[in-house]
Amino acid sequence: MSNFYCATLRVIDGERSYEIPTPIKAVSISDAEKKAEEKAKNFWDGGVKEDDNSYSHFGGETLTRVRGVREITEDEYNVLIRFL
């Protein structure tokens, strides 16, 4: 049975820094955290892992990292996938 999670991805793009809520279906929190890492890594065609657990894209022009993962309800998940 799947549970519903929301990962928050931090994106740093030049002078801008913003967070993106990312809905995830997973069997456990550890599985959701692994999936969130994959989403951060593949945010822009695969990234290079940096020492601070962020992923570098386009030679360092964009960085992504997972800020956190939390469990959400199925209703919250459905709203996120509908509008994101």
Give me the residue spans of the domains in the chain: 3-83
- The predicted pLDDT at position 69 comes to 98
- The predicted pLDDT at position 6 comes to 98
pTM above 0.75, yes or no: yes
- The predicted pLDDT at position 44 comes to 85
In Å, what is the CA distance from 22 to each residue of 36, 57, 77?
Answer: 8, 19, 9
- The predicted pLDDT at position 1 comes to 76
Tens-level pLDDT at each residue, the chain (84 residues): 789 999 999 999 989 999 999 999 999 999 999 999 999 999 987 889 998 989 999 888 999 999 999 999 999 999 999 998
Q: How far apart are CA 11 and CA 62, in angstroms?
A: 7
